[in-house]
Amino acid sequence: MDADVIVVGGGINGLWTGFHLTHEGKKTILFEQFPYPHTRGSSHGQSRITRSSYASEEYVAILPEANKHWKELEKETGKKLYLDIGCINMYNMKQTEEEFNSIIQNLKKHQINHEIIPGEQLSERFHGISNDSQYRGIFETNAGLLRADKCLSALQESFKSHGGELRDGEKVLSVVPINQDKVEVKTSIKTYTCKSVVLTCGPFINDLLASVHLRLPVQPIKVTAYYWKEKPGFTYSIANNFPVARDVSARVYFLPSCEYPGLVKICKHSGVAVDDPNTRDVITRKIEEEEKKALEELKSDIGIRFPGIDNSNPAIKETCMYTDSPDKNSILDFHPEHSNIVIGTGFSGTGFKTSPTVGGILAAMATGKQCPYPLEPFSLNRFNQ
């Protein structure tokens, strides 16, 4: 055997899976089809939000462990990865009251530190956010910003230092289960054997699952991240302890200026569906029209919620991808016919913050260990009901 476990897909969830496997002494090979660093997947970029404000309790339950692992990775590698600047989540109570109430219930149940802020007091607490009597805010103190590219680099370093074999620029072409104890993994270079395989291939998952006669109901989504200039007299910077922010009702998320001085990252939690992730940047008339409409909506949202931002035109734009499942929940399951093929996909834009725990779950599944979290909410069976 070349390895105990082979992980296919070297984004954040694949790397955390490899991290847990190597820390448990498992011989692990991780394949990433593109050479590092690259911008072809879902994990690159300089920043991601981390928070616990979810209406679905299964996510709230796994985030404390995830936050713990981020801190431990910082200590191991000596890299600052997690900035505890807090997160202000804003809800239009006429549109999202039920979601707001569910989130408060979950935060209380799991003892997540938070504070409710009336919409009339938002600008007093956070200069640069508009007051709105129809809104209420939930401020999480144990939340903030993950430095995405540095997180990837730290995980690669840890994985290799614990004996993991990282093979980037080597594409996996097929996965062939021989029996319940052996899988052949054919790449662009050679064929490897292992006891089990974990597939964390993001939007490319169905290309590989074709070799084991399975297709998942997931949709690659092209997402554009925009950076905007601050107006004179306003400073939305991490240096001034400005938090990350979300206008939940408008599906807008905000990250304070950090990677580009004087520029804040404001985007929609949505994107444009693409047929082929390999050609995501090919612009068709339909994609151009959808992106233009979304950008105009975002400009309007910025003008309403963030008066200190110049919303005339973005200064920078960058591209990544989501892999959406039909219900926007992750898929963590075994292949229906092969228990030594483990699937982790469909993270729908939430996968970065949960990845330390999800990687542990996938590692446990691949090695026959008991998972400490219920997996029913993430099962493939839910799509057949």
Residue 53 forms part of a structural domain: no
Q: How many CB atoms lie within 10 A of CB 286?
A: 10
CA 75/CA 283 separation, integer angstroms: 43
> Are 231 and 301 contained in the same domain?
yes
Tens digit of each residue's pLDDT (9 = 90 or more) over 354-383: 999 999 999 999 999 999 899 999 999 998
What one-letter code names the amino acid at 192?
Y
Residue 52 forms part of a structural domain: no
> Are 249 and 369 contained in the same domain?
no
Token reading at 132: 């709105």
Exposure of 25 by Cβ count < 10 A (0-12 exposed, 13-18 middle, 19+ buried)? exposed
Give how far Cα 135 sits from Cα of 93, 141, 169, 248, 270, Å. 6, 19, 48, 10, 22
State whether residue 31 is helix, strand or coil. strand
Mean pLDDT of 276-281: 75
Mean pLDDT of 232-246: 92
Mean pLDDT of 276-298: 81
Residue 70 forms part of a structural domain: no
CA 107/CA 88 separation, integer angstroms: 14
pTM: 0.95
Residue 304 has a pLDDT of 96
**Chain CA centroid to CA 209, Å:** 21
Q: Which of 324, 347, 367 is the endpoint of a domain?
A: 324
Residue 310 has a pLDDT of 97
Which residue, 294, 285, 281, 267, is CA-closest to 222? 281
Residue 54 forms part of a structural domain: no
Q: What angle do CA 136, 140, 142 make, to 5 degrees?
A: 175
Tens digit of each residue's pLDDT (9 = 90 or more) over 110-142: 999 999 999 999 999 999 999 999 999 999 999
> Are 206 and 256 contained in the same domain?
no
Q: Which of 324, 344, 371 is the endpoint of a domain?
A: 324
What one-letter code names the amino acid at 216?
L
List, in order, residues 6 or more apart from 109 with CB less than 8 Å away: 57, 60
Residue 134 forms part of a structural domain: yes
Mean pLDDT of 192-210: 96
Residue 44 has a pLDDT of 83
CATH of the domain at 214: 3.50.50.60
Q: How many CB atoms lie within 10 A of CB 175?
A: 23
Q: What are phi and psi of 58, to 5 degrees?
A: -60, -30
CATH of the domain at 98: 3.30.9.10
Residue 158 forms part of a structural domain: yes
Structural domain harbouring 188: 3-44+149-218+327-384
Residue 118 forms part of a structural domain: yes
> Are 129 and 274 contained in the same domain?
yes
The number of domains in the chain is 2
> Are 121 and 192 contained in the same domain?
no
List, in order, residues 6 or more apart from 249 with CB less than 8 Å away: 90, 91, 92, 95, 96, 135
> Are 193 and 181 contained in the same domain?
yes
Q: Which of 309, 324, 339 is the endpoint of a domain?
A: 324
> Are 255 and 315 contained in the same domain?
yes
H or E element at residue 151:
helix 148-161
> Are 377 and 242 contained in the same domain?
no
Mean pLDDT of 224-231: 95
> Are 263 and 367 contained in the same domain?
no
> Are 252 and 186 contained in the same domain?
no
> Are 163 and 184 contained in the same domain?
yes
Categorize the per-residue pLDDT at 385 as very low, low, confident or very high, splitting at 50, 70 and 90: low
> Are 235 and 315 contained in the same domain?
yes
Q: What percent of the chain has pLDDT over 90?
A: 84
For the stretch 210-231, what's the b/e string if a residue is b when 16 or more beta carbons lie within 10 angstroms of its beta carbon? eebebebebbbbbbbbbbbbbe
Residue 58 forms part of a structural domain: no
